[in-house]
């Protein structure tokens, strides 16, 4: 049996509902007395949060988007994520590199080979141990977004864009099935929450201390 996942990412198109479940996962792990880092991307550090503001609200092309996100990610990794993992903390991250491949790669149609090279330079092979992908039809996600908040620059994109983003997530999941767990986010909030906590219990709590 493999060791417990300690770097967990939460992914999905805007409106999939992933952010509403991260706190529940954090509460579960805190009850088990696991030290935690709860963070997000783009963001997670003062510099990365500044870059997040530019990314979400200033017009730019796909290459600029990708470079901003990876610059923020590098600072996030070097100053928070890698030190936290080294100290034995479990890291819960709202989005990571899969989002870049889904949004800038599949959504914008940007060159995946360039993104792969940036991923290699910035991450030095580091990937989440577990990725929870909150999968929902784009039309459902759009209805949720419109009822919840004013859209940012990316959330203003049309349904066809989010169809491509969803397909990008699917491609990443198919390429790394041992890391990804698909969550049917079209279910009720309670059903999604139950699925998420079941996965985390099995992949994190039940495997603590297990040998590799």
Check the annotation: does 14 bind a ligand: yes
Check the annotation: does 18 bind a ligand: yes
Check the annotation: does 125 bind a ligand: no
Check the annotation: does 9 bind a ligand: no
Q: Which residues pair with 93 in a beta bridge?
A: 9, 39
Cβ contact 76:44 at 8 Å: yes
Check the annotation: does 12 bind a ligand: yes
Check the annotation: does 171 bind a ligand: no
How many CB atoms lie under 10 A from the CB of residue 193? Answer: 17
Q: What single string gives the DSSP state of each residue in the chain?
A: -PPPP-EEEEE-STTS-THHHHHHHHHHHHHTT--EEEEESS-SSHHHHHHHHHHHHS---HHHHHHHHHHHHHHHIIIIIHHHHHTTPEEEEE--HHHHIIIIIIIT---HHHHHHHHHHHHTT---SEEEEEE--HHHHHHHHHHH----TTTTS-HHHHHHHHHHHHHHHHH-TTTEEEEETTS-HHHHHHHHHHHHHHHTGGGTT---
Check the annotation: does 15 bind a ligand: yes
Check the annotation: does 13 bind a ligand: yes
- Which residue ranges make up the annotated binding site for ATP? 12-19
Residues annotated in the binding site, as ranges?
12-19
């Amino acid at each position: 049996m493999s060791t417990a996942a300690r770097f967990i990412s939460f992914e999905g198109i805007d409106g999939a509902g992933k952010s509403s479940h991260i706190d529940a996962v954090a509460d579960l792990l805190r009850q088990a007395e696991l030290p935690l880092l709860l963070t997000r991307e783009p963001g997670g550090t003062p510099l990365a949060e500044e870059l997040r503001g530019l990314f979400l609200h200033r017009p730019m092309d796909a290459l600029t988007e990708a470079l901003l996100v990876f610059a923020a990610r590098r600072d996030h990794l070097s100053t928070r994520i890698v030190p936290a993992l080294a100290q034995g903390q479990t890291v819960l991250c709202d989005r990571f590199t899969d989002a870049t491949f889904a949004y800038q790669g599949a959504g914008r149609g940007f060159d995946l080979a360039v993104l792969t090279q940036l991923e290699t330079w910035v991450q030095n092979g580091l990937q989440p141990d577990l990725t929870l992908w909150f999968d929902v039809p784009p039309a459902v996600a759009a209805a949720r977004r419109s009822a919840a908040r004013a859209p940012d620059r990316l959330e203003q994109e049309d349904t066809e864009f989010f169809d491509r983003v969803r397909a990008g997530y699917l491609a990443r999941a198919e390429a790394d099935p041992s890391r990804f767990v698909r969550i049917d986010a079209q279910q009720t909030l309670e059903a999604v929450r139950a699925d998420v906590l079941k996965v985390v219990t099995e992949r994190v709590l039940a495997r603590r201390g297990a040998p590799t």
